[in-house]
Amino acid sequence: MQLVRLGEPGSERPFVRAGDGTTYDLGGLTADVDGGFLAADGIARAAAALAAGELPEAGVEGLRVGSPIAQPGKVVCIGMNYRRHAEETGATPPTEPVVFMKAPDVVVGPADDVLIPRGSTSTDWEVELGVVIGKTARYLDSVEEALEYVAGYVVSNDVSERALQFRTAQWDKGKSCENFNPLGPALVPASEVPDPQDLGLRLWINGEKKQDSSTKDMIFSVAEIVHHLSQVMVLRPGDLINTGTPEGVALGQPDPKPYLRDGDVIELEIDGLGRQRQTARQA
């Protein structure tokens, strides 16, 4: 089972996609896939309704695929969380998670255009495992319990403008430009991802593979990240965590670095979570 949101920006409606690919309307259970739905055990209720045959089949051909979750309360990102990515950029691997934020309104659908900021010469790609929080996590006692607070997983493209990112000590400026977080196509429940530390991630630019790694290379696991963040902020249902990107970003390649240009096609996927495809356009 996967949760999807379909429709034009701002008018997306919730649906469930069954294992055979059939899509069912979730509108009878919830108006949206948001924090309230997740906090009220919405995924389990949707699964039960699907199994009981209580959801009407939906005709969705031609509908835009939106972000699988409504705009989150916050988007928390982890930097330098893959060993080989740290190596390619010449950075020292961190001893605790590097945390920065993206503006929540940069989250868009998995096929929406990536908008290159005006004047940008260094807009970069980053395939990442996205983690969606399902219940409030505050001062968790242990790493072992952290995954209990995860609602599901999603493909995330943490688009970055490097000149803005490194202009000051704060990375947020280069992370919060318009459309800088394509998300989806689906939210896959945590119960259907046996091991988030055993997922392959891949990304292509204009058909050329740039990133090809596994979440096994993470410095800090999903459980460690959720536990750590709960000590420094309250994670709430519907919040999104981008868990870091593997090696293969433009920043880590020889000069002249192949940053995104107008018309470039970005494709990315994570095992079991689906695939994205965007076109880079000048803002």
What are the pLDDT tens digits along the chain (283 aa)? Answer: 999 999 999 999 999 999 999 999 999 999 999 999 999 999 999 999 999 999 999 999 999 999 999 999 999 999 999 998 888 888 889 999 999 999 999 999 999 999 999 999 999 999 999 999 999 999 999 999 999 999 999 999 999 999 999 888 778 889 999 999 999 999 999 999 999 999 999 999 999 999 999 999 999 999 999 999 999 999 999 999 999 999 999 999 999 999 999 999 999 999 999 999 999 999 9
Name residue, tokens 């090809």.
212
CATH topology of domain 70-282: Fumarylacetoacetate hydrolase; domain 2 (3.90.850)
Tell me what pLDDT residue 86 has.
84
Instruction: List C-alpha distances in Å: 208 to 62, 205, 214.
Output: 28, 5, 18
pTM beyond cutoff 0.85: yes
Taken as a whole, the chain contains a residue count of 283
Residues of the chain with CATH 3.90.850.10: 70-282
Tell me what pLDDT residue 91 has.
82
10 Å Cβ neighbour count for 52?
8
Tell me what pLDDT residue 162 has.
96
Tell me what pLDDT residue 85 has.
86
Q: Which residues contact 68 (CB under 8 A, 6 or more apart)?
A: 2, 3, 4, 5, 33, 154, 183, 184, 185, 186, 187
Tell me what pLDDT residue 267 has.
99
Tell me what pLDDT residue 75 has.
98
Q: Do 197 and 125 form a contact (C-beta atoms < 8 A)?
A: no
Q: Which residues contact 205 (CB under 8 A, 6 or more apart)?
A: 125, 258, 260, 264, 265, 266
Tell me what pLDDT residue 41 has.
97
Tell me what pLDDT residue 160 has.
97
Tell me what pLDDT residue 17 has.
98
